[in-house]
Amino acid sequence: MKKNLNEIRKNLPVTGDTVSAIMRQPVVLPPDFQVNEAIERIRQVGLPDANMNHCYVVGEDYTLLGMVSLRALLVTRGGVHLKEVMAHPFVTLQPEDDQELAAQLMQEYDLLELPVVDGDNCLTGVVTADDAMAVLQEEATEDMERMAAMMPSEKPYLESSVVRMFGSRIPWLLLLMLSAAFTGGIIAHFEDALAAQVALTAFIPMLMDTGGNCGSQSSVTVIRGLSLGEVAFSDWFRVLWKETRVSTLCALVLAVVNFLRLLLMTGVGSAVALTVSLTLAVTVVLSDLVGGLLPILAKRLGFDPAVMASPLITTVVDALSLIVYFRLASCLLGI
Amino acid sequence: MKKNLNEIRKNLPVTGDTVSAIMRQPVVLPPDFQVNEAIERIRQVGLPDANMNHCYVVGEDYTLLGMVSLRALLVTRGGVHLKEVMAHPFVTLQPEDDQELAAQLMQEYDLLELPVVDGDNCLTGVVTADDAMAVLQEEATEDMERMAAMMPSEKPYLESSVVRMFGSRIPWLLLLMLSAAFTGGIIAHFEDALAAQVALTAFIPMLMDTGGNCGSQSSVTVIRGLSLGEVAFSDWFRVLWKETRVSTLCALVLAVVNFLRLLLMTGVGSAVALTVSLTLAVTVVLSDLVGGLLPILAKRLGFDPAVMASPLITTVVDALSLIVYFRLASCLLGI
């Protein structure tokens, strides 16, 4: 099923690199040229790029009329006019479109080159698949870096300088370290309760890690969906509903396994086991929902959704799970 | 700088999908054909795929001799023999090569199609850039899913069933939850120390989160480097050296900021502030090294490096940081 072009354009991730930076100049010919004249012209001027396999038919002021593949030139009789043999380009780019759109459209429509036209439908260039492939790789790398709380780097790992790598990592580490102070504050707030039941402390890492893992599972899934144009802001309710069901299933299994493990393999009482397992279940559902919805919200607000991934969500989820933990503990354990 | 083909082949990530699954059948012609005979043949049989822009010259038993671009057919005089105009394919694939290799080689050499030959240099098919692009996207998605502790899914997010998504998430969640019991065991082991200094508990989330963030930064960077063929097992010492320097810089900045924050903005004494900050510094360096080296080791052992990413590393790093924390606390605080 082909998607609507406007829909793809709308769902596109916001990044700075536009199509105009990677477009190349094609061979352009008038519509009244005959096929043998076109071939003669190509012999004279050459084709600008080994990966360009069309020439472009333009009218006055470079208005794009059509494109003719080398294959069509090859198999058509010499006397035929280009306007009779040209294909009408049903997918075009604009110079200010995101480079990722070029790659998405090529994949969507199985094309290896796309013409770029301005607002008046004048041909300004052509994007070829080799450049689009490079864009796909770069964008995927950048998304992964953002998901792991780094500023995107330009260079391959072994060629990046230590100072540059430090610079791309330290801002997020600092921010997340300071925001974790908030989590610490929650624990400090419940210090008396913890002093009464030191055993509760031992489960904090498990609760926080599981919450973090659930949050990164749903956030990475949704972020990738946004990047590939499979998920849009308007799908937020479908994401909410899907994550609710998936996380409920996960929560049930994890809570039951955890409850049984605590009862059978450790010395904690059933009240503590119940407190920990209930907290786990609530944490799993909350983390999944936060992880699934924050990237969509970020996209809507014009931020890069990948920035919302695991580390930032972990901080939110840590705080939530601790609050749930201590509230449940005070209800169930009376501390 | 072009890389060596064997080097690229060797560094390639291990996945199950081979080139043979995506190759197409090209037009093949004998070397003694003239250009006008070739064009006539193409007119008769057509070209098999809109994205294939070469025909292939083969000898006996389909031995690959060369490839002729449509462009070359177009601009060459009709009487010239194909053997005089064909290019010798300097990059070829084998049917059992990984699909990702096809995409990497196309990018490396700026090609939009690559011939596939068997061990006897017989042509078995051709891979085109549109298929290679799809492979790149799928592989990047799979890597991201594995990094976020999920089994790779085949379908777009909104089309995946709830049960299937549950199935791809729950195994890792269970495994990681149970392994976090180990971390809990460490805390339980030091319960008496914690009871004496409950304030120490409040810093556990910050220490664990920062360690986890550092580990995911270095692991994601290295995993992506491995995927793109930029990093190989033989680079392990360079990775070790680079991560040591980057993490030492990060550790210094984080520890100093944290020490000052604890002294100036909280009520903890300087001994506790020192204990927490030293633990932080050691955790940052350890996490970075574990994150950078585990994926390389996994690759060497034939596992997918992406599986080694953040969540698994988090569990290791949690345990390490807690042990360091309690050891330092017992030295510096005498508990």
For the ranges A114-118, A191-195, A262-266, B238-242, the lowest mean pLDDT is seen at A191-195
Number of residues in chain B: 335
Alpha-carbon distance of A227 to A257, in angstroms, equals 35
Q: Is the pLDDT of residue B248 over 50?
A: yes
List B residues 137-176 in contact with A (Cβ-Cβ < 8 A).
137, 140-141, 143-145, 147-150, 156-158, 162-163, 165-166, 169-170, 172-174, 176
Is B137 close to A136, i.e. CB distance below 8 A? Answer: yes
CB < 8 Å to B154, chain A: none
Q: Is the pLDDT of residue A148 over 90?
A: no
Q: How far is CA B24 from CA A101, B47, B49, in A?
A: 26, 11, 8
Using alpha carbons only, how large is chain A's radius of gyration in Å? 28
Residue A270 has pLDDT above 60, yes or no: yes
Nearest CB among B47, B149, B220 relative to A144 is that of B220
Banded model confidence at residue B114, pLDDT cuts 50, 70, 90: very high
The residue ranking higher by pLDDT, A14 or A62, is A62
Residue B209's nearest CA partner among A184, A30, A137, A56 is: A184
Burial class (CB in 10 A: 0-12, 13-18, 19+), A177: buried
Identify which of A222-226, B205-209, B280-284 has the greatest average pLDDT. B280-284
The band of A1, judged by pLDDT with boundaries at 50, 70 and 90, is very low
Q: For residues A94, A98, A102 and A104, what is the CA-based torsion angle, rounded to 10 degrees?
A: -130
- Cβ–Cβ of B111/A133 closer than 8 Å? no
Helix (H, G, I), strand (E, B) or coil at B49: coil
pLDDT digits (tens, 9 = 90+) for A25-68: 999 999 999 999 999 898 888 777 778 999 999 998 899 999 99
Better pLDDT: B23 or B13: B23
Interface contact flag, B130 A129, Cβ < 8 Å: yes
pLDDT tens digits, one per residue of B214-246: 988 888 888 888 888 888 889 999 999 999 999
Instruction: Give the model's pLDDT for residue A8.
Output: 59
DSSP β-bridge partners for residue B87: B67
User: Chain B 188-247, CB below 8 Å of chain A: which residues?
Assistant: 188, 191, 194-195, 198-199, 201-206, 208-210, 212-214, 216-217, 219-225, 228, 230-231, 235, 238-239, 242, 245-246
Give the pLDDT confidence score for residue B6 in this predicted structure: 61
B 307-326: CB under 8 A from A: 310-311, 314-315, 318, 322
The residue ranges of DSSP E strands in chain A, in sequence order, are 28-29, 54-58, 64-69, 113-117, 123-128
Out of B180, B199, B245, the one facing A209 most closely (by C-beta) is: B180
Q: Which of A191-205, A302-316, B103-117, B218-232 has the lowest mean pLDDT?
A: A302-316
More confident residue, B173 or A1: B173
- CB < 8 Å to B165, chain A: 221, 242, 246
- Alpha-carbon distance B18 to B97, whole Å? 5
CB B38 within 8 A of CB B73: yes
Higher pLDDT: A197 or A98? It is A98
What DSSP assignment string belongs to A149-199?
T----SS-GGGS-HHHHHHHHHHHHHHHHHHHHHHHHHHHHTHHHHHHTGG
Residue A11's pLDDT band (boundaries 50, 70, 90)? low
Beta bridge partners of A71: none
Do residues B328 and B287 make contact, with C-beta atoms less than 8 angstroms apart? no
Please report, rounded to a whole number, the percentage of residues in chain B having pLDDT higher than 90: 34
pLDDT reading at A9 higher than 70: no
What is the pLDDT at residue B253?
95
Res A81: pLDDT:
95
pLDDT at A124: 93
Which residue among B103, B141, B199 sits closest to A133, beta carbon to beta carbon? B103
What is the average per-residue pLDDT within A81-103? 91
Cross-chain residue pair B156–A225, CB shorter than 8 Å: yes
**Would you say residue A298 has pLDDT above 80?**
yes
Task: Note the pLDDT of residue B1.
Answer: 39
Q: Where are the alpha helices (DSSP H) in chain B?
A: 5-11, 35-45, 70-75, 82-85, 99-109, 129-147, 162-189, 191-196, 204-227, 236-265, 270-300, 310-332
Instruction: Name which of B55, B47, B74 is nearest A35 in CA terms.
Output: B74
- Kindly determine whether residue A249 and residue B50, on different chains, have CB atoms separated by under 8 Å: no
Band of pLDDT at residue A5, cut at 50, 70 and 90:
low
Q: Would you tell me how many other CB atoms lie within 10 Å of the CB of residue A199?
A: 19
Least confident of A11-15, A92-96, B195-199, B263-267: A11-15
A3 pLDDT exceeds 60? no
Q: Rounded to an integer, what distance in angstroms lies between the CA atom of residue B207 and that of residue B187?
A: 14
Kindly state the tokens that stand for A280: 């786990």
Residue type, B32: D
pLDDT of residue B237: 92
More confident residue, A32 or A14: A32
β-strand partners of B68: B55
Q: Which of A165, A178, A233, A256 is the best mutation test for B, with the most CBs of B within 10 A? A: A165
Residue B208 and residue A273: Cα distance in Å, rounded? Answer: 23
Q: Tokens for A56? A: 């472009």
